[in-house]
Structure 1
Amino acid sequence: MAQLVKSLISSRTKDEVSWPSFWKLVELYPNWRLMAEAPVGEIESAIVEVKFAKDKAANLLLTLRKVAAEHPDFNLGFLGDMSVPDAHGWLERLDGVGVKVAASTLNFSTLNRPSFVIDSHVLRILQRYGAVVHSADSDKAYRAVMGSVPDWSPRRLVELHRLMKRLGQSWCQKLDVDCNGCPLAQRCAKRIG
């Protein structure tokens, strides 16, 4: 549950902002039931620093309440018994949960499932390196990566995510591109600089 909540509030927000917001939520609401019963305004105030705080607060409450209706103990361990595609499907029917949040919930948590997290940095790298077409969205990129590495462990997928994210934050940023300094420039299909 902690990873689901953290992922829901961190979209398009730097970790330096989303982590303090997450910890503030956990401090204010020491269990998921209390958080699910909180007024939306209180949740929004707690996460006001994240981008789209109003929408994220509403989605978070709807998601927590849907989870509570089916699993009052807020234990998502049952997802570990499902196939990864079925677990993705279950998560993606929750408010505000797309492929990125579902993948991070499955892979970055104690569930430890093989699911690749596609954030904006990773998607940009995949597009620029020609691994997916430039118009590919996160869903298409996810399917392409998972189809290419079907036997990779959760740990290898986490490491790939971290390396690609670092590349996207350091050399291959959206606007500030440093192709000359990029360690993978010679392999890039869309070399810009």
Structure 2
Amino acid sequence: MQGQFAFVSNDIARWRSRLTPLLVGVEALPRRTPVGQLVKSLISGRTRDPVSLAAYRRLGARFGSAAGIAAATPIAVERVIADVTFAAAKAEWLVEALRLIGRERPDWRLGFLGGLPLGEALGWLERLPGVGRKVAASTLNASTLARPVLIVDSHVLRVLGRLGLVATHAEAEMASEIVTAAMPGWNADDFLRFHIALKRLGQTVCRFETPACAACPLASDCPSNKPLG
């Protein structure tokens, strides 16, 4: 197993180096509180970043806090985030998740997750409505908790699948665990920047229906770019 991870680690390090140009112009954003990042990530699935960010800001302006959202009706929340994909379902998940957190943590502070083993922290979040590995990893990695774990969305999963790191129809959880385990020396920023680079590649080059393989900086490593025979 150690040898296998060493091989994977070399691949990942090489991919990160080749993807560095995609990070030009990317500025480090202030990290949100864990509950704030949870809210932002939960409403962002299948939605363009500017749209989900605007919806997140409207939630803050309308309800003021996690407690305010938890006290609202799902319909009221849906009206505020109406332009995100699957707004009705996300509103239900968001209200229910924050109410559950509030019953256990009345101050909605999730700093304790920083002291749990990574698997336990992910599991605590993933039992919440609407929270899968992508949202849980984002809450831990992109917030002030700054935990070293890879965020895997649909773009990242597609790229890693085409590269052969995971099976084509693998789950985000498996992809996140493989990369996270393979790079024990990376910190939270390393994982976050790798996520951003892979996501940008998936959005602009390694697209779902029409991948531009000739323009891909990872083409020489990609089995999907090699002709059969």
TM score, norm. by length of structure 2? 0.82
Q: Distance in 2 between matches of 1:38 and 1:31?
A: 11
Identity of aligned residues (%): 44
SS in 2 for 1:180: helix
Question: How many residues in Structure 1 have an aligned counterpart in Structure 2?
Answer: 193
Q: Does 1:144 align with 2:178?
A: yes
Shift of 1:155: 1.0
Match of 2:57 in 1: 23
Instruction: Structure 2 unaligned segments of length 5 or more: list them.
Output: 1-34
What's the CA shift string for 1:141-187, capped at 9, x where partnerless?
Answer: 11221221133211110111111111111110101211111122111
Instruction: State the match for 1:74 in structure 2.
Output: 108
- Is 1:158 equivalent to 2:189 in the alignment? no
For 1:189, the equivalent position in structure 2 comes to: 223
Which residue of 22, 37, 41 maps to 1:7? 41
> Per-residue CA shift, 1:2-39, capped at 9, x if unaligned?
10000110011110210111111100011221111011
Q: CA deviation at 1:97?
A: 0.4
Out of 142, 152, 173, which is 1:118 matched to? 152
Equivalent residue, structure 2, for 1:57: 91
* Secondary structure, aligned partner of 2:140: helix
The whole-number CA distance in structure 2 between the counterparts of 1:116 and 1:155 is 10
Match of 2:67 in 1: 33
1:133 partner SS: coil
Distance 2:203 2:67 in 1: 36
**1-structure distance, mates of 2:201, 2:177:** 21
Pairwise CA RMSD: 1.2
Give the 3 Å change call, closer, same or farther, for CA 192–16 of structure 1 in structure 2: farther
* Counterpart-to-counterpart distance in 1, 2:209 and 2:103: 44
Amino acid at match of 1:96: G
1:171 paired residue among 202, 205, 216: 205
Shift of 1:88: 0.2
Query: Partner of 1:135 in structure 2?
Result: 169
Displacement of 1:118: 0.3
1:96: Cα distance to partner? 0.4
Shift of 1:122: 0.4
Q: Which residues of structure 1 form unaligned runs of 5+?
A: none
* Higher normalized helix content (fraction of residues): 2
Deviation at 1:63, TM superposition (A): 0.4
